[in-house]
Amino acid sequence: MSPKTNKPEEMDIRSMDISNDNRTKLKQLFPSVFTETRNDKGELVESIDFEKLKAELGTFSDVFESRRERYGMDWPGKKECMKLIQQPSVGTLKPCREESVNFDTTENLFIEGDNLEVLKLLQKSYYGKIKMIYIDPPYNTGNEFIYPDNYSESLDTYLAYAGLIDANGRKFSTNTPNEGRFHTKWLNMMYPRLYLARNLLREDGVIFISIDDNELCNLKNLCSDVFGEENLIEVLVWKRRATPPNDRVIGKNHEYILAYGRNTNETSLYLQQKEDHVIARYKNPDNDPNGPWIASDLSANGKGGRLVDSCIFPIHNPLNKKDYYPPRNKCWLYSKEKVEKFIKEGRISFRESTGAPYLKRYFKEVRNGSTMPTILDDAGFSQDSAREIRSLFGADVYEFPKPIKLLNKLIVCGLGPNDILMDFFAGSCTTAQAVLELNKIDGGNRKFIMVQLPEPCDEDSEAYKTGYKTIANIGKERIIRAIKKIEEEQIAKTKESNGMLPGLEEQPLIDLGIKCIKLDKSNFKIWDGSNLDASEGEIAQQLTLHIDHVDPNATQEEILYELLLKAGFMPTQKVEKLEMAGKTVFSIAEGALLICLEDEITRELIDAVAEAEPMQFICLDLGFQGNDQLKANAVQTFAARNKGQDKAGQIVFRTV
């Protein structure tokens, strides 16, 4: 807001401006390269002095500068891709309560829509917050893949494709080998999505991408262009078939998974988890506060095979009053002082049968498995994934999903127990089920974001005959069925454990929910100043739309979710409905953001909001009902409240 103009800050309901964000970052690093120049209209505008930038980088002109040859990844359409990346989205993500499970409490997202538009819309709220991305994009094998026909109209193209607006010639097309730009179209489809995905990764984040031979080389070069070749972690080989196909002399039975870090100097990866049967060995029959444990041998062979004298001593069992020495030709693992310390802490106990001491080895302290190998020959096969689909749906409703075991290995390697995973080529949502299953095993709080285009199922397919009209329907239903399956397992396990040792009755409290939201046009009519040749009538119509710019068909919840998303808050944030000065106000993230959608704003409401001290307050401009004096007073109220506060403590006041 600007006290000088007595006007609140007008909220930008477009997605994040990528090019402006990049300029801001550049200015933080090299402020001296920014200067002011006059544009064609004679106005002073900020520009970049590229000669100064070269000097700052130590890159000076030389005799080869004018040559066009250079090393790098290039293809027809790359420049158009950059323009597309920099073009903000004016769409929104509308909540769908009726298709969700535990809508108000879950932190898991399923987003139906074109992943390019969705990635743009998530830039503000998830920028630098995703720990791991896994995608299984189209392999470009000769089968068709879907992409927008006209990249400059991507949102309208999607809305027409999804049947939300009349087509008007806009449509999604397919890519087949008989087209002249087969590989180029695939690159044009992948590049902007990977570029935007990189922004969402944390500094220690990692992306895994499944692919086969058809585009492996192009994908590797593309990722090196987007992420930097120095951030290649590894190219993994997944053995997808137990035996090679017998219709060739050399039968291909593998695929690849590329792993890139956001910044490999920061990237954190984790050891592979122990198998389920190993985890099951850890119990907690005595309610030890350190959690599940197993009895472990306390003796050792000594360092380098030599016995350590300081580790040979008697351990006294206070229960049977006997002393115990290490077995012949062995010593204890620890010194006498450390053993005594462990006994006091309860980490050393004594066997009931023999009285001999043993070490309690806690599950939380055990080195969690081993390093992931580059060849994944024990990560499940394609036929396993087909069985997994049939076990949930009772039919083969989806072709070529990845097995849960493969996704488990990648998730355990790349994702911490409280982190967020994204898959924006979600398909049947194996990734989501893998996250749910891992949380069930270890009580983790991993969250997922699945994004899937509502691509129609072929009318002759098993999926269509079973009642699933789109791939998005299948993915959504798989998550819901996986949730129900885990709930049923937990109920059965609780009943089975009745009367057992204390602590075994309750199952881990994990997030068994899914919040469904869908890509759609904005709830606000947006001023279109792009048509310089517009007639007076068209301009007048635009002005009329700008005055009454809220879609009359939009629900209050749809408007709320658009505003919180474009204010930079996650759509999974907790939303509470409050009453302030007789008006309904929505509180997001425990009061960090307050939104009022009432059609009348009062002075009492402004005072109450200022007293609550949110980070941001957003209301509809029409709520002031043309009362400029009230609007000016609101600006001054927040300005007075912000005086003397550092930037983090100030209230940002916006209208839309």
Is 289 part of any domain? yes
602 within some domain: yes
Residues 96, 122 within the same domain: yes
Q: Of the residues 496, 517, 538, which one is the last residue of a structural domain?
A: 517
Q: Which of 475, 496, 517 is the last residue of a domain?
A: 517
Closest CA to 414 of 571, 262, 212: 262
Q: Which of 335, 350, 365 is the last residue of a domain?
A: 365
Question: For the chain, which residues score pLDDT lower than 70?
Answer: 1-5, 41-44, 59-71, 142-145, 147-152, 166-171, 176-181, 271-280, 302-306, 366-370, 496-508, 527-548
Identity (one letter) of the amino acid at 366? V
pTM: 0.79
Q: How far apart are CA 233 and CA 231, in angstroms?
A: 6
Residues 631, 609 share a domain = yes
Residue with tokens 């009726």: 98
Domain-embedded: residue 261:
yes
In the sheet where 130-135 sits, what is the strand order?
91-95, 515-521, 109-112, 447-452, 420-423, 130-135, 201-211, 254-261, 232-239, 375-376
- Name all contacts of 587-594 with Cβ < 8 Å and 24+ positions apart: 587/614, 588/564, 592/616, 593/564, 593/567, 593/569, 593/617, 593/618, 594/618
Flag whether 503 is in a domain. Answer: yes
Distances (CA, A) of 120 to 32, 92, 195, 423, 549: 30, 10, 10, 15, 22
Between CA 552 and CA 36 the distance in angstroms is 43
Report the helix count and the strand count for the chain, using DSSP H and E. Answer: 19, 27
What pLDDT was estimated at residue 490? 85
On whether both 377 and 500 belong to a single domain, the answer is yes
Tell me how crowded residue 47 is: count the other CB atoms within 10 A of its CB. Answer: 14
Residue 256 host element (H or E): strand 254-261
Q: Do residues 425 and 503 both lie within one domain?
A: yes
Question: What is the domain count for the chain?
Answer: 4
Q: For residue 9, tell me if it sits in a domain.
A: no
Are residues 327 and 345 located together in one domain of the fold? Answer: yes
Same domain, 335 and 442: no
Structural domain range at position 40:
17-86
476: left (phi over 0), alpha (psi -120 to 50) or beta: alpha
* Residue 187 domain flag: yes
**CATH (domain of 148):** 3.40.50.150
Amino acid, single-letter form, for residue 433: Q
Phi, psi of 443 (to 5 degrees): 70, 20
Residue 364's pLDDT is: 73
Closest CA to 107 of 499, 414, 360, 439: 439
Is residue 55 in some structural domain?
A: yes
Q: Which of 192, 209, 224, 207 is nearest to 262 (CA)?
A: 207
The DSSP line for 323-373 is EEPPPTT-EESS-HHHHHHHHHHT-EEE-TTT--EEEEEEGGGS--S-PPP
Cα separation, 370 vs 412, whole angstroms? 11
Contacts of 263 (CB under 8 A, 6+ apart): 203, 204, 231
Please give the structure tokens belonging to residue 606: 């402004």
Tell me the C-alpha distance between 239 and 241, whole Å: 6
What is the SS3 assignment for 124? helix
> Half-sphere exposure of residue 136, counting CA atoms within 13 Å on the CB side?
17
Residue 380 DSSP symbol: -
484 with 568, same domain? Answer: no
113 occurs within a structural domain: yes
Tell me what pLDDT residue 302 has: 60
Question: For position 499, what pLDDT does the model report?
Answer: 52
- pLDDT for res 168: 61
